[in-house]
Amino acid sequence: MQFFIDTADTDAIRELYATGLADGVTTNPSLIRKSGRDFKQVIAEICAMVDGPVSAEVLATAADTMVEEGRALASLAGNVVVKLPLTLDGLKACRQLSQDGIATNVTLCFSANQALLAAKAGATYISPFIGRLDDIHIDGMELIREIRVIYDNYGFETQILAASIRGPLHVKESALAGADVMTAPPEVIRALATHPLTDKGLATFLKDAAAAGISV
């Protein structure tokens, strides 16, 4: 499973990408707004820092304008993935951009039928929003499982990008369900490495090493 960092915070991206555990970045207008910086400048800076895919979202809602914006975003760097909403216009734009050889990420997916349409439109990634489904008492992970079965049934190459990840449990369940990629905020990725028994065991080892005068 690939790990994408869901943020527009370039300092956090730089820190996590240096660990070798991150494979790409996803952004959205809300994250860009939180950064307080110019949209295209942030995307270009992230693309220069990261070798992997960087999702940047169009702002238009009409297909023709989405295609124009998508081409403009793709011109910023070779690793830009154009993020499009899962609407009929978004799917139409996805088809055109995919035919142009531009990578796409169809976002705001909440049903298996929507995911099927995105794959038929040639999407590079489909982004099912797990956490937002959980918020309305629908099992978001079941959606990942359904999409996995459908894509495997027909040999679709669209990658399942588990999004709206709220914590480490979502990461584990996405991996078990067969998601190709997960994207999560920096704090969630950092939390994957922590466990109270790891901390307790390390403290014990260090205490015993000091008591025995062990050094390396």
pLDDT computed for residue 149 by the predictor? 98
Rounded distance, CA 171 to CA 183, Å?
9
pLDDT computed for residue 133 by the predictor? 97
Q: Which residues are paired to 55 by β-bridges?
A: 26, 81
Rounded distance, CA 9 to CA 137, Å?
30
- Over residues 117-151, the pLDDT tens digits come to 999 999 999 999 999 999 999 999 999 999 999 99
| Tokens representing residue 66 in the block | 């989405």
pLDDT computed for residue 164 by the predictor? 97
Active site residue 120: no
Q: Which residues contact 89 (CB under 8 A, 6 or more apart)?
A: 61, 62, 63, 66
pLDDT computed for residue 130 by the predictor? 97
Q: CB–CB of 182/195 below 8 Å?
A: no
| Tokens representing residue 144 in the block | 């990942």
| Tokens representing residue 33 in the block | 């707004």
Does the predicted model carry a pTM greater than 0.85?
Answer: yes
- Residues of the chain short of pLDDT 70, as ranges, are none
Single-letter amino acid, residue 176: L
Catalogue all structural domains in the chain, each as residue range(s) with its CATH number.
2-212 (3.20.20.70)
| Tokens representing residue 116 in the block | 């099927």
Q: Which residues are paired to 3 by β-bridges?
A: 182
Catalytic residue among 34, 40, 83, 207: 83
Would you give the distance in Å from CA 23 to the centre of its chain? 10
pLDDT computed for residue 216 by the predictor? 92
pLDDT computed for residue 113 by the predictor? 98
pLDDT computed for residue 103 by the predictor? 98
pLDDT computed for residue 116 by the predictor? 98
